[in-house]
Amino acid sequence: MRLFEAFYMKNRSFFQLYTQSDLSAADFKVLALLYQPLMGLEGHALYTTFYQLIHKTGRDTYEHQELFDLLNLKQLDFLKIRHKLEALNLLLVYQKEDNFLYVLKAPLTAKQFLVDTVFGSYLQSEIGEKNMQTLTELFKMQVPDLSGYEHITKSFDALYEFKSLNLLSVPHPLQGRTQNGGSFLTYKFNYESFVEKCPERLKTSQLLTEKFKEQLNKIAFVYQFDIEDMIEVYESASKSKTQMISFAQLNLKAKQHYETKHKLLTIQPKTLEKPNLVDHVSPQLIIQKYAKTDQQGIALQTATSLLERNAIEPGIINVILMLVLKHKEGILPNINYMEKVLHDWLNKGVQTTEDALSYAQNLETKYETRYKRKPDRVKVKEPDWMDEYMQELADLEG
């Protein structure tokens, strides 16, 4: 019926507006900078108008013709714009004959939009990587340096005595933000067949959760993967030692699988780039070889702290050590800097030494194309530094 809605919806039909919560300045910032490129200026204007009508007029029922006159829109244009808000999960629509209910939903946070849903990838495909980097910088969060500080925040039960163990019961709905949920996709791949064809060793309880099912569906939609592709992605992500597989891990493995399948990678793995070599070489050997002599003591202390404070494969830290020492010309930054780099890699889905090697090469490729591009730009120079490092370390290992 939605295909013919324009013919069934009357200009004199009525609509009521509702919202789940008030919006903050941060919400409007996300709407203007992240959602607007996808829904257009008209979509942003319609959403803002709906919000203001809810909070400023004191009315709860309007005629569609009023809205069309207010925004200087025709019905067909209004429907096209409204459908965009629905697709971005900013608006829920209910119809009963000539009466409509519009429920305005709060936008995602910047982190949810950019990292946790398909919106971030789609936005980058629309505006380009350079503009995307500019946008993400606008949402960069300053993290305080907690070195030397002790966490002394008081808990609730330290100051207040519990009088009752029963939660408060309220007989009517209350204002409050519910999870936006990201994009609403009608695209489905055969999840039951996917589970059935999965190797028995990979059939965990995580496959039974709706959230995981939705994550797999979104990845299959973005990359247009079939069941066999998704099994390869899932199996690859399952090789990490963590029990639960995160969306970031799945997304990283999906990206790698897509690039391999479509031969987008310009760098071919060489025999020296073996994760087991990186896993077994000691950080001390890396620092002794590549850090400045007068910096090696401090660098060793930092590397030791990094290993002690983070329960991950040593090979991941070794790759980060080599990359940072290369770009910092033999000077290893402090532990806070190194942990920020490590956590950024983990958030990008790096969970194994093999992931770290692949991710480091991708970073180097971007660096080469950005800062060392030539006029003809026919071929991207391979970042051979990793091969050289591996060969030198292998020689030292004997």
Cβ atoms < 10 Å from Cβ of 160: 9
Six token digits for residue 228: 């066999």
> Residue 133: inside a domain, yes or no?
no
Q: Is 243 in the same domain as 321? A: no
Shared domain check, 309 and 250? no
83 and 197 both lie in a single domain: no
Is the same domain home to 243 and 289?
A: no
Contact 34, 113 (CB under 8 A): yes
Kindly list the distances between the CA atom of residue 271 and the CA atoms of 154, 199, 246, 274, in Å, as whole numbers in the listed order. 54, 29, 30, 7
Given 83, 104, 125, the domain boundary residue is 104
Strand ranges in the chain using DSSP code E only, listed in sequence order: 14-19, 61-63, 91-96, 99-104
Residue 135 lies in a domain: no
Per the domain annotation, does 217 fall within a domain? yes
User: Do residues 250 and 311 both lie within one domain?
Assistant: no
Query: 183 and 224 in contact (C-beta within 8 Å)?
Result: no
Domain that holds residue 357: 275-368+376-397
The 10 Å Cβ neighbour count of residue 46 is 22
Kindly state whether residue 268 falls inside one of the protein's structural domains.
Answer: no
Residue 210 lies in a domain: yes
Q: Does residue 182 lie within any of the structural domains?
A: no
Domain end: 228, 261, 294, which one?
A: 261
Q: What angle do CA 191, 196, 198 make, to 5 degrees?
A: 95
Number of domains in the chain: 3
My answer on whether 315 and 223 are in the same domain is no
| Domain C-terminal end among 66, 89, 104 | 104
To the question of pTM greater than 0.85 for the whole model, the response is no
* Residue closest to 191 by CA, chosen among 238, 227, 237: 227
Q: What is the distance between the terminal CA atoms of the chain, rounded to a whole angstrom?
A: 72
| 387 in a structural domain | yes
Confirm whether 37 is domain-assigned: yes
Indicate the DSSP class of residue 274. Answer: -
CA angle 361, 367, 373 (to 5 degrees): 120
- The residue type at 76: L
Cα separation, 74 vs 83, whole angstroms: 14
Query: Letter for the amino acid at 57?
Result: T
* CA gap 33, 136 in Å, rounded: 10
pLDDT per residue of the chain (398 residues) written in tens, 0 to 9: 444 444 457 888 999 999 878 889 999 999 999 999 999 999 999 999 999 998 777 787 899 999 999 999 999 999 999 999 998 989 999 999 889 999 999 999 998 888 767 788 888 888 888 899 999 999 988 888 888 888 888 776 667 654 544 455 556 665 555 555 555 555 567 888 888 888 888 888 788 888 888 888 777 766 678 888 888 888 888 865 556 787 778 878 887 887 777 654 333 434 444 556 777 777 778 887 888 888 877 887 788 778 767 777 888 888 999 889 888 888 898 888 888 889 888 888 888 888 888 888 888 777 666 655 544 444 444 445 566 666 666 665 55
Report the C-alpha gap between 355 and 162 in whole angstroms: 48
Asked whether residue 299 falls in the same domain as residue 358, the answer is yes
Residues 301 and 249 in one domain: no
222 and 294, same domain (yes or no): no
Same domain for 304 and 392: yes
Q: Is residue 279 located within the same domain as residue 393?
A: yes
